[in-house]
Amino acid sequence: MRFDVISLFPDLFRILAGQGVVGRALERGSAELHLWNPRDYTRDPHRTVDDRPYGGGPGMVMKMEPLQAAIEDAKRAAPDSEVAYVTPQGRTLVQDTLAEIAAKPGWILIAGRYEGIDERLVERYVDAEWSIGDYVVSGGELPAMVIMDAVMRLLPGTLGHKDSARQDSYVDGLLDFPHYTRPETVAGARVPQVLLSGDHQAIARWRLQQALGRTWLRRPELLERRGLSAEEKVLLNAFIQAHRDAE
Ligand code: 9WO
């Protein structure tokens, strides 16, 4: 998997690339990250990367020629990659979308600044527009990093691949169950007894029930979309009953 990122702030990506799951994916060669700075393609003494919007108004737009030259160079270096623009106007990504992204050989991600990029560049180069949620940040870099992190942790051989396999096996489409670690008692609050029982089947059932119950409480629309097996219905009904009794 190859990512080429077009950004005026390539240094922001060093933190992502230097540690954790992404750092290891890059180190192992499961993924590559290449950075292209439009400022390197300027020809004027001030190395100008912004320009005034036609039609007027406050704010600036990314200057056309340096951005286009950076896109062209990235496409030459990564001819098999598709181009994505990260923008609040894009398709909002969900977990299932990440597999589609991971299935392609690579992506050129355009991280915009200011008020965005010239629409003719979108029409000419951009294959996909992606949003990470309905809010605006000051540039596309953080959303691009969110997307690369979420995709890279799914790559075979990356840490996190194991836990995505776990998700596939029994809690896909559900919120996570609660986690506990030592000590057994914190200020009188005990770890649920079943987790200390050593009964792996009972633990798996309890975790599935917690995942179902939390999804029902917090994100009921996810359950609608996913549907429930007969066993899951029994577990959820018992959770709901216990929840009502506790109220
Ligand atoms: C800036 C702005 C200022 C005044 C009025 C409206 C405005 N919209 C924007 C704007 O959308 N700026 C973007 C900043 C330009 C493209 C890169 N930027 C960006 C991307 N902000 N937020 C994202 C983003 C990307 C993916 N998912 C969520 C947010």
194: domain CATH number?
A: 1.10.1270.20
Domain count, the chain: 2
Whole-model pTM above 0.85?
yes
| 19 and 125 belong to one structural domain | yes
| 164: pLDDT strictly greater than 80 | no
Ligand 1 test: best mutation among 87, 121, 149, most atoms within 8 Å of CB?
A: 87
Over residues 223-242, the mean pLDDT reads: 97
C-alpha of residue 138 to centroid of ligand 1, in Å = 6
Q: 16 in a domain, yes or no?
A: yes
The answer to whether the CB of 213 falls within 8 A of the CB of 236 is yes
| 117 and 175 belong to one structural domain | no
Q: 165 in a domain, yes or no?
A: no
| 205 and 93 belong to one structural domain | no
Q: 159 in a domain, yes or no?
A: no
| Number of the ligand 1 atom closest to the C-alpha atom of 130 | 26
Over residues 158-178, the mean pLDDT reads: 70
| 35 and 96 belong to one structural domain | yes
What is the C-alpha to C-alpha distance for residues 194 and 127, in angstroms, rounded to an integer?
50
Q: 164 in a domain, yes or no?
A: no
Res. 172 pLDDT band, cuts 50 70 90: confident
| 39 and 137 belong to one structural domain | yes
Q: Which burial class, exposed, middle or buried, applies to 188 when counting CB atoms under 10 A from its CB (0-12, 13-18, 19+)?
A: exposed
Three-class secondary structure of residue 93 per DSSP:
coil
| 15 and 133 belong to one structural domain | yes
C-alpha of residue 233 to centroid of ligand 1, in Å = 42
C-alpha of residue 236 to centroid of ligand 1, in Å = 41
| 148 and 193 belong to one structural domain | no
| 190 and 136 belong to one structural domain | no
Q: 163 in a domain, yes or no?
A: no
Radius of gyration of the chain measured on its C-alpha atoms = 23
Domain of residue 222: give its range: 171-246
Residues flanking ligand 1, CB < 6 Å: 59, 86-88, 112, 115-116, 131-133, 136-137, 139-140, 143
| 189 and 136 belong to one structural domain | no
135: domain CATH number?
A: 3.40.1280.10
Mean model confidence pLDDT for the chain = 95
Give the pLDDT score at 157.
83
